[in-house]
Amino acid sequence: MSPTIDGLRPHIIALANQKGGVGKTTTAINLAAGLAELGFRVLLVDIDPQGNASTGLGVSPQNRKVTSYDLIVDGVSPQDVVQTTSVDSVWIIPANADLSSADLEIVSHEKRSFLLHDALRQPDLDSYAFDYLLIDCPPSLSLLTINAMVAADSVLVPLQCEFFALEGLSQLMLTIRDVRRSANPALRIEGIVLTMHDMRNKLTAQVEADARATMGDVVMKTTIPRNVRVSEAPSHALPVLSYDPASKGAVAYRALAREIANNRKTAL
């Protein structure tokens, strides 16, 4: 049963990692599609100035006249920025390069860390009856990322299976701890999801073993394999679940969506 039907507000998950190239946006797009397949209504909030999540869900640059920049910086109504996507039951608040200057423009604002929090709790969004809001953060621990963490119920951390993967994780965890202390005491870790996972590679096995030994149950059971279909899908403006539903990548993202949905049920 949908959490929204149960009368609860949407569950907000920020996807964050200050390191680029870890599969953050790919995970945001495909997790949204996987949750939609389970019958949930999902809003993806793109706050990455690169706007890759918007492109990957079929929103062309010319259709980004009003974006998350306008939502955060100018306080426009959410109804003015929410768009449909190429995936049924998935909507998006798109992004473009305007966001590159957002940190400088909001730094002097009295509520600079709460702008996205307040925007995503406007009554305008209630009519959509969203079950999940996924926030695709920029690859940095910027003021935009802080806004996402203050707005979110939890943080999902995509972690690439490579040598330096765990090095940046400690800084991210410190940032989450600081946000808990200062602005969002209820913020929790949704999980760490291992991406670009290849068990034929000894390094992958070592990174996974180290992550599970260090972080324990915080590491998701589901891992996302290195899969060419996952890489190809964005060029067709589709999640891999639509582009090649039977691929290993699609199967993995469906499993991740089920794991997150089940964790939500357990938390309730």
Distance CA 55, CA 57 (A): 5
68: confidence class by pLDDT, cuts 50, 70, 90? very high
Mean pLDDT to the nearest integer, 13-29: 95
Residue with tokens 């059971």: 221
pLDDT in tens, 180-198: 999 999 999 999 999 999 9
What pLDDT does residue 41 have? 98
Q: How far is CA 40 from CA 16, 37, 98, in A?
A: 22, 7, 30
What pLDDT does residue 165 have? 79
Q: How far apart are the first and last CA of the chain?
A: 12
Distance CA 119, CA 154 (A): 17
Share of the chain above pLDDT 90, in %: 85
What count of other Cβ atoms lies within 10 Å of the Cβ of residue 76? 17
The predicted model scores a pTM of 0.95
Joined tokens for residue 174: 């410190």
**Least trusted range by pLDDT, from 5-19, 130-144, 235-249:** 5-19
Checking if the pLDDT of 4 tops 50, the result is no
pLDDT in tens, 155-166: 999 999 887 878
What pLDDT does residue 265 have? 83
109 phi and psi angles, rounded to 5 deg: -70, 135
pLDDT in tens, 90-101: 999 999 999 999
Are β-strands 83-84 and 132-136 bridged in parallel, bridged antiparallel, or unpaired? unpaired
Joined tokens for residue 147: 């806004």
What pLDDT does residue 7 have? 58
Taking the mean position of all CA atoms in its chain, how far away is CA 6? 23
What pLDDT does residue 119 have? 96
- Name the β-bridge partners of 83: 92
What pLDDT does residue 267 have? 74
**Least trusted range by pLDDT, from 1-10, 80-89, 132-141, 227-236:** 1-10
Mean pLDDT to the nearest integer, 111-129: 95
What pLDDT does residue 5 have? 42
What pLDDT does residue 96 have? 95
Distance CA 87, CA 29 (A): 10
Furthest-apart CA pair in the chain: how many Å? 51
200: confidence class by pLDDT, cuts 50, 70, 90? confident
**Choice between 227 and 200, residue whose per-residue pLDDT is larger:** 227
Checking if the pLDDT of 268 tops 90, the result is no
159 phi and psi angles, rounded to 5 deg: -130, 115
User: CA Rg, the chain, in Å?
Assistant: 17
What pLDDT does residue 3 have? 41
SS3 labels along 10-72: CEEEEECCCCCCCCHHHHHHHHHHHHHHCCCCEEEEECCCCCHHHHHCCCCHHHCCCCHHHHH
> Looking at this protein, which amino acid is placed at residue 206?
Q
Torsion on CA atoms 70, 71, 75, 81, rounded to nearest 10: 90
